[in-house]
Amino acid sequence: MQHFSNDNIKSWDRFYRTNFINCLSGFKSATLIGTISCEGNPNLAIFSNLVHIGADPALIGFINRPKEAAPHTISNIEATGVYTMNHIHASFIDKAHQTSAKYSAGESEFQKSGLGIEWKENIKAPFVAESNIKYLMELVEIIPIQYNRSFFVIGKVTDVYVDETIIAPDGFLYIDNAGSITSLGIDGYYETNLIARFRYAKSDTITEKIK
């Protein structure tokens, strides 16, 4: 097995290092975040550094890079307090990837990528029409990470829209059956297959698979 020290990694070409390091933390929940600016411009961007924070209250966080690199989603969230998260399916990964391009604040990634914009009654933030699993978020807290000037954006799930055929009797969501993909690094997208589900693990028994 080859060993790479921090000095090796630092010496690499920037793009090589970015690819290598971005793959290390593994497969990601690539998601499209929909927002709107105070001026009424819809914005859509792909984010994969998502994390579940808690189920009650239902909290999900994501990492936003420094504002000069990725300015629009975070500014719109700060301004309006709401945003949508939309699963990505294999049928539109090319369009989802396109939303990572640097567009100006007045340009809508919905238009530029060709993804459909969906408005729901009394909800200010736009959803992705093509997405089979989507939810509305209310901003809770933005924590600046001083070390690299990025931000941890924490939100509360307020409304969920999901095809009921993927909901198991115990609440598990078979998101693979909805066609949701996973991503790796900054440009790799994968389909998924369930290997197994297991019962709640206990220290005094060997955990069984759920049939």
Ligand X SMILES: Cc1cc2nc3c(=O)[nH]c(=O)nc-3n(C[C@H](O)[C@H](O)[C@H](O)COP(=O)(O)O)c2cc1C
Binding footprint of ligand X on the chain (CB under 6 A): 30, 43, 45-49, 62-65, 69-73, 97, 100, 102, 183, 186-187
Toward ligand X, which CB reaches closer, 42 or 116?
A: 42
Cα 207 to the center of its chain, rounded Å: 31
Q: How far is the CB of 44 from ligand X (least distance, A)?
A: 7
Q: How far is the CB of 107 from ligand X (least distance, A)?
A: 9
Cβ of 165: how many Cβ atoms within 10 Å? 9
Measuring CA to CA, which residue among 182, 185, 181 is closest to residue 23?
A: 185
Q: How far is the CB of 10 from ligand X (least distance, A)?
A: 22
Toward ligand X, which CB reaches closer, 17 or 65?
A: 65
Q: How far is the CB of 54 from ligand X (least distance, A)?
A: 20
C-beta separation of 92 from 9 below 8 A: no
Toward ligand X, which CB reaches closer, 62 or 135?
A: 62
